[in-house]
Chains A and B, each alone.
Chain A
Amino acid sequence: MLEVEVAGLRLRNPTVLASGVLGVSASLAKRVEEAGAGAFTTKTVTREPRRGYMNPTFVVLEHGYLNAVGLANPGIEHFCQELREMRESLSIPVILSVGGGSAEELVEVARRGVECGAQAVELNVSCPHVRGMGVELGHRADEVAGAVGEIRRLGVPVLVKLSVHHDYLRLAEACLDAGASGFTAINTVRGMAIDIYARKPVLSNVYGGYSGPAIRPIAVRVVYELYEAFPGVPIIGVGGVDGWEAALELILAGASAVGVGSAIAEKDLAIFEEIVRGLKEYMEREGFSSIKELVGLAHRS
């Protein structure tokens, strides 16, 4: 009933752990699988290890979360061991989020990651808080498309993570022409928070990525646009998924699967089962037999 296929990946249900949350170890991946997720996306991995920014790197706000972790990761060589362990212990698909400052680096990280067991690659060309490794890269559509083409040859699906800070329809088109398998939309939205008593920015990096329920309408819009512009291209909808209703909204807009991220701060890992149960009950009540019937349904008259 809830099984979906996304760019050739078979998911037992449409929930995906989004990149940037918990994706650091095989041990956490196992817990996420046990909690009911349909797929697991790693934290963004780069060629070299990165320590990330100083704390505060995460702020809990009234309607969402702001973070600027700074793409902290152990580097692909070290992460390979975690990937191998993930493949040994997990039965859900493992999507490797790949970051870098150039097409060459993206390709290199992806190649090594696939060798170590990644079943799909998600290109993070839209991190809003790391100079030279995020949004800037996504502005260079030709370079990203070049990376997509080369990574596609590794034989795994390639998803491109899009951001509202790009001309995302143009970037999406260039990536599709180069062979991209689908899109993940959206990344966090660039924002900042100032403490009114400290009278200073809270994040050490000043700027960060805003996530949570407040960005959901933006994610719904982008997913809707992508589905309309590129019918049949799979989309993982991400942004403010804090329950089954939010997940369903993205599915109706055109997402085949939905990413769950910062909502874990509030609901912890139980959110995966909550979404799965809620979707099932909705489908039974409303008379749907497969979740696939709901994908993009808001478009049809």
Chain B
Amino acid sequence: MHARARVAAARLAAEQVLELLLEVELPDPSPGQFVMLWVPRVGEVPMSVADYEGGVLRLFITRRGVVTGYIHENARPGLALFVRGPYGRGFTMPRGGRVLLVGGGTGTAPLYFLAKRAGLSSAGCTAAVGFKSSRHVILVDELRKYCDVRVATDDGSLGHHGPVHELAAALLSGERYDRVYACGPEQMIVEVLRLLEGREEALEASLERYMRCAVGVCGSCVLDPLGLRVCRDGPVFSGAVLRRLHDLGRWWREPDGRKRPLAPQATG
């Protein structure tokens, strides 16, 4: 069953991105895990966890469809939403060494959670984060507590003008890292995977697919050809696994199970 989650705060953190603080009792999530967020009579969607501390769950919700649209329009303190989870396999926590985070848009949120939980510091962590524009930026200031942060925007309104993988490429050309963590649009993950070809950095990246049960039984989020379920075997996968996924960057499975080409997206 779901746990009731009272909205403690709701604010527009960036264009089309709502930041929600929810008071809810959950098993402690680990960075990279997700929850299912239910709005009665409206629908239920997966959301990655941006933070969970002191019984407060933090989410960054991009306005996309019926459910996220409803939340954007109606979330105010006191509103009751419902949460089940956390689900899935999150990131492997870094144990020392140098870490590179590569985030795109709200994909920055679980990376922030990782940096915070792992207690990273800018001596050991560099983050390259990309957004559509300066109006779409989230979590950059907070991430600076844990990492040396570099920003890219598609329109050049803040930081590097261009996709975030270009920042990552520049960082990787001058430095060796022990681990690279990526979360964001799938094309960004494909680019990061390409940058790491032939290198020794261990990559972990988080993927997204249409989900139903979230516990690994319905098969809606399966990735070919390995038969991996994003909700249970993922959402975080290692670089070695990602390289063997033919679906990666190419195919999205619709609710009816048919696959359609995954449209190239900007890093926002």
Please pick, from B4, B41, B255, the residue contacting A51 in the complex, using a CB distance under 8 A: B255
Residues of B within 8 A of A29 (CB): 227
Q: Which of A198-206, A249-257, A280-288 contacts B (4 or more CB under 8 A)?
A: A198-206
Asked whether, in the complex, the Cβ of A28 is within 8 Å of the Cβ of B257, the reply is: no
8 A Cβ contacts from B15-39 to A:
36, 38
- Indicate if A278 sits at the interface (CB-CB under 8 A): no
- Over the window 24-49 of chain A, the binary record of Cβ atoms lying under 8 Å from chain B Cβ atoms (1 yes, 0 no) is 11111111000000000001000001
A24 partner residues in chain B, CB cutoff 8 A: 219-220, 222, 257
Judging by beta carbons under 8 Å apart, are A55 and B212 in contact? yes
Contacts of A49 in B (CB 8 A): 256-258
Q: Is B262 positioned at the interface, with any CB of A under 8 Å from its CB? A: no
Given the known interface contacts A27-B227, A72-B220, the answer about A54 and B43 at a Cβ–Cβ threshold of 8 Å is yes
Contact assessment for B212 and A198 in the assembled complex, using a CB-CB cutoff below 8 Å: no
- Whether, in the assembled complex, B218 has its beta carbon less than 8 Å from a beta carbon of chain A, the answer is yes
Point out the residues of chain A lying under 8 angstroms from B177, CB to CB: none
Query: Judging by beta carbons under 8 Å apart, are A21 and B258 in contact?
Result: no
CB-CB nearest in chain B for A27: B227
- Are B1 and A28 interface neighbours, CB within 8 A? no
**Contact flag A51-B256 (CB < 8 Å), given A28-B227, A31-B227:** yes
Residues of A within 8 A of B148 (CB): none
Give how many B residues have a beta carbon under 8 Å from the other chain's beta carbons. Answer: 36
Bound together, the chains give a CA A72 to CA B254 distance in angstroms of: 10
Residue of B nearest to A30 (CB): B227
Is A1 in contact with chain B by the CB < 8 A criterion? no
Please state if A58 and B212 are interface contacts (CB–CB under 8 Å).
Answer: yes
Query: What distance in Å separates the Cβ of A173 from its nearest Cβ neighbour in chain B?
Result: 33
B214 at interface, CB cutoff 8 A: yes
Is A209 interfacial (CB 8 A cutoff)? no
Secondary structure call for the A interface: loop
Could you tell me the dominant secondary structure of chain B's interface residues? Answer: loop
Residues of B within 8 A of A58 (CB): 212-215, 217-218
Q: Mark B207-228, 1 if CB is under 8 A from A, else 0.
A: 0000111111111101111110
**Contacts known (A21-B217, A74-B258, A78-B258); A56 close to B226, Cβ less than 8 A:** no
At the interface with chain B, which of A59-67, A106-114, A184-192? A59-67
Nearest CB in chain B: distance from A150 CB, A:
26
Contact of B224 among A21, A25, A52, A195 (CB under 8 A): A25
- Whether a CB of chain B sits under 8 angstroms from the CB of A57 is yes
- Give per-residue flags for A254-282: 1 if the beta carbon is below 8 A from chain B beta carbons, else 0: 00000001101100100000000000000
Q: Does B84 contact A (CB under 8 A)?
A: yes
Residue in B4, B232, B254 whose beta carbon sits within 8 Å of that of A197 in the complex: B4
A215 to chain B, nearest CB (A): 16
Q: Evaluate whether A22 and B217 lie within 8 angstroms (CB atoms) in the complex, with A31-B227, A60-B84 already known.
A: yes
Task: Name which residue of chain A comes closest to B45, CB basis.
Answer: A55
The answer to whether A73 touches B256 (Cβ under 8 A) is yes
CA of A236 to CA of B218, assembled, Å: 21
Q: Which of A26, A31, A67, A200 lies in contact with B41, CB distance below 8 A?
A: A200
* A202 & B2 in contact (Cβ 8 Å cutoff): yes
With a cutoff of 8 Å between Cβ atoms, the chain A residues found around residue B191 in the complex are none
User: Which residues on A sit within 8 Å (CB–CB) of B215?
Assistant: 58, 60, 265
Q: Which 9 A-B pairs have the closest CB atoms?
A: A27-B227, A58-B213, A55-B44, A24-B219, A31-B227, A74-B257, A200-B40, A28-B227, A198-B40
Residues of B whose CB lies within 8 Å of any CB of A are 1-2, 4, 36, 38, 40-41, 43-45, 80, 82, 84, 211-220, 222-227, 229, 232, 254-258
Query: What are 21 of the A-B contact pairs (CB < 8 Å)?
Result: A22-B219, A25-B219, A25-B227, A27-B222, A27-B224, A27-B227, A28-B222, A29-B227, A31-B226, A43-B257, A49-B258, A52-B255, A55-B211, A56-B36, A57-B212, A72-B220, A197-B80, A198-B38, A198-B40, A198-B82, A265-B213
**Which A positions have Cβ atoms within 8 angstroms of B?**
20-31, 43, 49-52, 54-62, 65, 67, 69, 72-75, 78-79, 193, 195, 197-198, 200, 202, 204, 261-262, 264-265, 268
